[in-house]
Amino acid sequence: PSLLTGSLPQALVDDTEDVSLDFGSEEELALRKARIRHPLATFFHLFFRVSAIITYLFCDWFSNSFVACFVTILLLLSFDFWSVKNVTGRLLVGLRWWNQIDEDGKSHWVFEAKRVPTVAASTEAEARIFWLGLIICPVIWTVFFFSTLFSLKLKWLALVIAGISLQTANLYGYIHCKLGGQKSISRLTSRLFVTDIPKRQTRRISEDPIEEHGKTSTR
C-alpha cells in the first residue's frame, strides 16, 4: 500500500505539471508568440496615411483633375483620422481619447489607457509601428505646408492644412493618453500608500490599550 501511495502522488504530480502548463488553445499560444497580433489594424494604420501622402505627391500622374485629387486625399485623411482614433489606437496600444459633453453643456476631453493586458494585447513591434506612423506623418505634412507656401501652389494649401490638423490632433490625443496613463499610475500608487497608513494607525491605537489592559490585568 505504501508503494502505491508513494507512486500515485508522483503520477499525479506529473499529470498536474502537464495540465498546468497548458494555458489555452493552440491559437492562443500562437497569438502570444506572434510579433504582430493585429495584422489588419497595423496595415490600415499605415495604409491611409501613406496613401494620402503618396496621392498628394503623385496626383499629377493619377489624374488631371484637381477636384478628384482633393476629394480623394481628403477622404483618405478623414478615414485615417477615424481609424487611428477609434480602432488602431485601442487595438495596437490600448489607448483611446474622446470628447464628452455632460448635462451642463461643458465639454470634457477624456483620455483612457488600458491597464489589464489580455492575451491579444499588443506587442512591442506593433507599438513601435504605431508611434512611428503617428509621429512621422504630421512632420511630412508640415514639410508639404512649407513647400506649398513657398512654391505658391496655394490651391493645395487648404488640403495641407486639413491634413496637418487631422494628424496632429491624433498625435496630441495619444500623447496625452500616454502621459495621462503614467500620471494616473503614480496617483494610484500614492493613493494606495496614503490609505495604508490610517489602517496601521488604527491598528496601533487598538493594540496599545489592549496591551495596557493585559498588563493591568496581569497585575
Partner 1 sequence: FAGLADVSISEEIPVEGQITVPVGSHSPDEDGSTLDEPVRETIMRDLKAVGKKFVHVLYPRKSSTLLRDWDLWGPLVLCVSLALMLQGGSADSKDDGGPQFAEVFVIIWFGAVVITLNSKLLGGTISFFQSLCVLGYCVLPLTVGMLVCRLVLLAGSGTISFIIRLLVVLAMFAWSTLASTAFLADSQPPNRKALVVYPIFLFYFVISWMILTFTPQ
Contact residues: partner 1, CB under 8 A: 64-68, 70-71, 74, 78, 82, 86-87, 90, 94, 96, 99-102, 105-108, 110-115, 155, 158-159, 184, 187-188, 191-192, 195, 199, 202-203, 205-206, 208-210, 213
Least CB distance to partner 1 at residue 114 (A): 6
Calpha distance 209→103 (Å, rounded): 52
- How far is the C-alpha of 178 from the C-alpha of 123, rounded, in Å? 16
Nearer to partner 1, 17 or 61 (CB): 61
Q: What DSSP designation does 112 have?
A: E
* Shortest distance in whole angstroms from residue 70 CB to partner 1: 6
CB-CB contact of 37 with 122 (8 Å): yes
- Cβ proximity to partner 1: between 17 and 199 the closer is 199
Q: Are 179 and 97 in contact (CB under 8 A)?
A: no
CB of 18 to partner 1, least distance (A): 32
**Min dist. Cβ of residue 210 to partner 1 (A):** 8
* Closer by beta carbon to partner 1, 41 or else 134: 41
Cα angle 34, 35, 36 (rounded to 5 degrees) comes to: 95
- Nearest approach, Cβ of residue 113 and partner 1 (Å): 8
In the complex with partner 1, the residue whose CB is nearer, 14 or 153, is 153
Residue showing cell 491634413: 163
Q: Which is nearer to partner 1, 128 or 191 (CB)?
A: 191
Residues 114 and 95: beta-carbon distance below 8 Å? yes
∠ CA 79-143-68, nearest 5°, is 45
What letter would DSSP give residue 88? I
